[in-house]
C-alpha cells in the first residue's frame, strides 16, 4: 500500500514526520494539473490570444521607436546635421536662406511623422491596457475556478478515505494539503502556465524581428541561450528539493498547531507552555531554514540570469560597434538592437524563472496527488446491494480482524442477531468491544470471515444505504460547531426540525437545550466546548435517534452521564431499542442487563453468550464480571479492601 506519510512504527520517526519523496517528475504532474484546467480551456485560450496580441504590441513599440529615431529624429543626422541645427538655432541669420528653408521643411516633415507615431503609440497603449484588464480578470476567474475544483476534489476524496488513513495522518497535515498546497499550485499556475505561452511568442517574434534587422548580431546574442537553458536545468532540481522541504515543514507547523490547540486545556493543566514553545521553535526554525535554502538558490539563480543579460549588452556594444564602424549596419539598427535586447532577454529570463517557480507548484502538486492517489478500499461494489425492505439482522461469521498486521483484535468471532433483538457486548478493556461496533457499518474491512447485515456481506452493500441504516454512537462524542439543530441532523435536510425536537424529547436532551438562551438555535463552539460532557453525549444520542436507524450501535455512550440522566436515557433506550436491532457496548453491566443476549468477549474471542440469567447460571466469566460489579456496589458500607482475600 502506498503510504501517505509516516504513521505507525516508523522507527525513529514521529507521527508528524512525512516521508521524503523520491524521483522528480515534471510532465506527469503537469499533465494531471492540466486536467483541472481543461473545463476552462476556452477561457484560457482566450487569455492566451489576448496575451499574444499584447505581445504583438510590445513588439511594435520598439519598431515605432525605431521609426521615430530613423525617420524623424536621427535621419541623416550625425555631427554634420547636429552642427547645422545648432547653428540654425543659435544664429539662424548666418545660414543660407535655402539651407534655412530646407531645414525648416525637413523639420516640419519630421515633426508630422513624429506626431503620427506618437498617436499610434497612444492608440496601442490604450488597446494594450484594455487587453491587460480583460486578460487579468479572465485569468483570475479561471484560476480561482480551477483552485475551487481542486479543493472540492481533495475534500470529496478525503470524505471517502478509509479511517485507517486518518488514524495514520495528523489532521494538520491534511489541512495543509487541502488549503496551503492548493494555494501554492494556484500561485504558480497564475504566474507561469498561461503567461509562458505569451513569453514563447514574444521571444519568437523578437527573434524574427532581430534576424531580419541583422542576422549576424542576432546570432551573436543567441550564443547566450544554451547557457541559460543549462543553468535553468541545473537549478531545477535544487529548487524542487528546496520547495519540497518547504511544503513538508509547513505541514508540520500546521500539524503541531492543530494538535496543541485542540489540547490546550491539557497543555495548561500540565504547564507545558514552555516545553511546547521550545518544540514549536524547533519546527518553526526548520520551516525557516527550508525557506532560506530556497531563497539562497533563487537568489543565486536570478543574478546569474541578469548577469547573462547585461553581458549580452556588452557583447552587442562591442560587436555591434565594430559592425557599425565597418559600415555593415546603420545607426538606427544599432539603436534598435539596444532596445530589443531587453525584450529579447525578458521572455527568456522570465521563462527560466517561471520554470523554477513551477517547481514550487509541482512540489505542492506532488503531495496533493499522492493524497488523491490514496485508494479508498471501503467503497460500494460495482453492483451494490440496495435493499427493498430492511429487517436488521446482523451476523458475524468467523470474523478475524486486525488494525495492524499480526496483531489480531478479533479472532474467529461468530454470532447472529435477529431483527429487533438487543445484544450487549461485555468484556475487559481491550477485549475488542469497540472494534465490533466499527465493523457493522463497515468503518474497517475484516481480514477473514464476513460481517453480514440482512444476510448480505457488508462488502456487497451500497455503503450509503448501509450506513443510513446503522447508526453508531461512538465512544468519543464529536460535536461540530454550528447550532444544536445542525448538530443533531448533521446537515441532513430530510430530517425536519420537528423530528429533531421529538428526538430530543425522547432522550431528554430537550431539558438543557430549552434552557439555553436560543434553544435549538443555540450556537455550539468547536467540539461543543460550551456544553458539558454529559450534555454532549445526550446530543450525540439525540443525533442517532433523529436518523431513525434500523440498527443501533452504542459504544459506552452512557458512561459519562450521571445516574439520573442515565435513568432517563435507559427509559429512552428501551423505547429506542424496541423494533430495532441494537448492539450495546458498556462496562456498566446494569445498563445492559435487559439485553436479549450478552456476548462476553475476552481477547477478541467470544467466550460466552446467552441471556443474563443463563450466563449467571453458567458461572463463567460473565458471572465473575457481574459479581465484581455487584458485590462492590451492593454492599454500600463494605470497603473494597475488606473483600481482599
Considering only residues 447 to 476 of the shown chain, the ones binding other proteins according to CB under 8 A are 463-464, 467-468, 471-472, 474-476
Residues 6 or more apart whose Cβ sits within 8 Å of residue 307: none
Q: In what order do the strands lie in the sheet with 394-402?
A: 408-417, 394-402, 448-453, 456-457
The closest of 228, 219, 194 to 346, measured between CA atoms, is 228
Q: How far is the CB of 27 from other proteins (least distance, A)?
A: 29
Asked whether 354 and 195 are in contact (CB, 8 A), the reply is: yes
Q: For 8-124, list the strands marked E by DSSP.
A: none
3 state SS of 445: coil
Q: Among 27-35, 37-45, 121-129, 447-455, which window interacts with other proteins (CB under 8 A)? A: 121-129
- CB-based burial label for 244 (10 Å; 0-12, 13-18, 19+): buried
Cα–Cα distance for residue pair 33/365, rounded to 1 Å: 8
Residues 6 or more apart whose Cβ sits within 8 Å of residue 132: 54
DSSP 74: S
Residues 21, 52, 85, 607: which binds other proteins (CB under 8 A)?
A: 85
Q: How far is the CB of 269 from other proteins (least distance, A)?
A: 5
179 scored as a contact of other proteins (CB under 8 A): yes
185 scored as a contact of other proteins (CB under 8 A): no
How many angstroms separate the Cα of 404 from the Cα of each of 17, 366, 487? 19, 27, 33
229 scored as a contact of other proteins (CB under 8 A): no
Q: How far is the CB of 326 from other proteins (least distance, A)?
A: 10
The closest of 572, 590, 579, 606 to 435, measured between CA atoms, is 606
491 scored as a contact of other proteins (CB under 8 A): yes
519 scored as a contact of other proteins (CB under 8 A): no
280 scored as a contact of other proteins (CB under 8 A): yes
Q: State the cell numbers at 22.
A: 523520491
Residues 375, 525, 575, 578: which binds other proteins (CB under 8 A)?
A: 525
Residues in 356-395 that interact with other proteins by CB under 8 A: none
3 state SS of 424: strand
Residues 3, 45, 82, 373: which binds other proteins (CB under 8 A)?
A: 82
Residues in 612-641 that interact with other proteins by CB under 8 A: 612-613, 616-617, 619, 625-630, 632-634, 636-637, 639-641
How many angstroms separate the Cα of 3 from the Cα of each of 234, 372, 444, 504? 30, 12, 17, 43
Q: In what order do the strands lie in the sheet with 551-555?
A: 470-473, 551-555, 581-585, 422-427, 597-602, 605-610
557 scored as a contact of other proteins (CB under 8 A): no
253 scored as a contact of other proteins (CB under 8 A): yes
Q: How far is the CB of 342 from other proteins (least distance, A)?
A: 8
For other proteins (CB under 8 A), the number of binding residues is 191
285 scored as a contact of other proteins (CB under 8 A): yes
Binding mask 291-330 for other proteins (x = CB under 8 A): xx--xx-xxx-xxx-xx-xxx-xxx-xx--xx-xx-----
Q: State the cell numbers at 380.
A: 460500494
66 scored as a contact of other proteins (CB under 8 A): no
Binding mask 416-445 for other proteins (x = CB under 8 A): ------------xxx---x------x-x--
Cα–Cα distance for residue pair 601/605, rounded to 1 Å: 5
Closest to other proteins by CB, 25 vs 224, is: 224
Closest to other proteins by CB, 35 vs 160, is: 160
Q: How far is the CB of 26 from other proteins (least distance, A)?
A: 25
Asked whether 438 and 403 are in contact (CB, 8 A), the reply is: no
288 scored as a contact of other proteins (CB under 8 A): yes
Closest to other proteins by CB, 396 vs 622, is: 622
DSSP 559: T
Q: How far is the CB of 431 from other proteins (least distance, A)?
A: 9
Closest to other proteins by CB, 28 vs 138, is: 138
Asked whether 442 and 160 are in contact (CB, 8 A), the reply is: no
35 scored as a contact of other proteins (CB under 8 A): no
Amino acid at each position: 500500500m502506498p503510504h501517505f506519510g509516516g504513521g505507525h512504527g516508523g522507527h525513529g520517526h514521529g507521527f508528524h514526520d512525512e516521508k521524503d519523496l523520491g524521483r522528480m517528475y515534471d510532465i506527469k504532474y503537469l499533465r494531471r494539473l492540466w486536467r483541472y484546467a481543461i473545463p476552462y480551456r476556452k477561457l484560457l485560450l482566450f487569455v492566451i490570444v489576448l496575451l499574444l496580441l499584447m505581445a504583438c504590441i510590445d513588439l511594435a513599440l520598439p519598431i515605432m521607436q525605431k521609426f521615430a529615431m530613423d525617420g524623424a529624429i536621427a535621419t541623416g543626422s550625425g555631427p554634420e546635421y547636429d552642427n547645422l541645427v545648432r547653428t540654425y538655432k543659435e544664429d539662424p541669420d548666418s545660414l543660407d536662406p535655402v539651407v534655412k528653408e530646407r531645414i525648416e521643411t525637413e523639420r516640419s516633415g519630421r515633426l508630422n511623422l513624429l506626431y503620427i507615431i506618437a498617436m499610434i503609440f497612444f492608440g496601442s497603449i490604450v488597446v494594450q491596457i484594455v487587453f491587460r484588464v480583460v486578460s487579468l480578470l479572465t485569468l483570475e476567474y479561471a484560476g480561482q475556478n480551477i483552485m475551487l475544483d481542486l479543493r472540492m476534489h481533495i475534500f470529496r476524496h478525503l470524505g471517502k478515505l478509509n479511517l485507517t488513513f486518518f488514524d495514520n495522518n495528523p489532521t494538520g497535515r491534511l489541512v495543509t494539503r487541502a488549503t496551503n498546497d492548493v494555494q501554492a499550485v494556484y500561485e504558480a499556475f497564475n504566474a507561469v502556465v498561461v503567461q509562458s505561452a505569451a513569453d514563447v511568442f514574444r521571444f519568437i517574434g523578437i527573434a524574427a524581428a532581430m534576424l531580419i534587422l541583422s542576422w549576424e548580431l542576432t546570432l551573436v546574442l543567441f550564443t547566450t541561450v544554451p547557457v541559460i537553458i543549462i543553468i535553468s536545468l541545473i537549478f531545477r532540481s535544487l529548487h524542487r528539493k528546496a520547495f519540497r522541504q518547504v511544503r513538508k515543514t509547513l505541514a508540520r507547523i500546521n500539524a503541531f498547531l492543530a494538535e496543541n490547540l485542540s489540547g490546550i486545556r491539557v497543555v495548561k493543566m500540565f504547564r507545558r507552555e514552555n516545553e511546547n514553545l521550545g518544540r514549536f521553535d524547533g519546527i518553526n526554525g526548520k520551516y525557516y531554514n527550508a525557506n532560506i535554502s530556497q531563497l539562497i538558490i533563487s537568489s543565486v539563480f536570478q543574478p546569474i540570469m541578469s548577469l547573462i543579460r547585461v553581458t549580452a549588452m556588452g557583447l552587442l556594444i562591442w560587436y555591434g560597434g565594430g559592425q557599425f564602424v565597418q559600415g555593415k549596419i546603420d545607426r538606427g539598427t544599432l539603436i534598435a538592437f539596444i532596445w530589443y535586447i531587453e525584450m529579447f532577454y525578458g521572455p527568456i529570463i522570465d521563462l527560466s524563472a517561471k520554470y523554477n517557480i513551477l517547481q514550487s507548484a509541482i512540489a505542492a502538486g506532488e503531495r496533493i496527488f499522492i493524497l488523491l492517489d490514496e485508494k479508498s478500499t471501503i467503497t460500494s461494489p460495482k453492483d451494490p446491494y440496495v435493499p427493498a425492505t430492511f429487517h436488521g439482522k446482523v451476523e458475524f461469521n468467523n470474523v478475524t480482524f486486525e488494525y495492524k498486521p499480526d496483531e489480531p483484535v478479533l479472532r474467529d468471532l461468530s454470532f447472529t442477531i435477529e431483527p429487533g433483538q438487543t445484544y450487549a457486548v461485555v468484556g475487559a478493556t481491550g477485549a475488542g468491544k469497540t472494534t465490533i461496533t466499527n465493523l457493522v457499518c463497515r468503518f474497517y474491512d475484516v481480514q477473514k470471515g464476513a460481517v453480514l447485515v440482512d444476510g448480505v456481506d457488508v462488502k456487497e452493500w451500497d455503503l450509503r444505504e448501509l450506513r443510513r441504516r446503522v447508526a453508531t454512537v461512538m465512544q468519543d462524542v464529536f460535536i461540530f460547531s454550528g447550532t444544536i439543530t445542525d448538530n443533531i441532523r448533521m446537515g441532513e435536510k430530510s430530517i425536519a426540525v420537528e423530528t429533531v425536537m421529538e428526538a430530543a424529547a425522547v432522550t431528554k436532551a430537550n431539558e438543557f437545550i430549552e434552557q439555553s438562551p436560543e434553544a435549538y438555535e443555540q450556537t455550539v463552539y468547536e467540539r461543543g466546548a460550551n456544553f458539558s460532557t454529559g450534555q454532549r453525549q445526550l446530543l450525540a444520542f439525540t443525533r442517532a435517534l433523529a436518523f431513525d436507524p434500523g440498527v443501533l450501535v452504542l459504544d459506552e455512550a452512557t458512561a459519562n452521564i450521571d445516574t439520573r440522566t442515565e435513568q432517563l436515557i435507559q427509559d429512552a433506550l428501551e423505547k429506542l431499542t424496541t423494533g430495532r436491532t441494537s448492539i450495546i457496548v458498556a462496562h456498566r453491566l446494569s445498563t445492559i442487563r435487559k439485553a436479549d443476549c450478552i456476548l462476553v468477549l475476552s481477547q477478541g474471542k467470544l467466550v460466552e453468550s446467552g441471556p443474563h440469567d443463563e450466563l449467571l447460571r453458567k458461572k463463567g466469566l460473565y458471572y465473575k464480571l457481574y459479581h465484581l460489579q455487584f458485590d462492590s456496589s451492593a454492599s454500600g458500607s463494605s470497603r473494597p479492601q475488606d473483600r481482599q482475600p
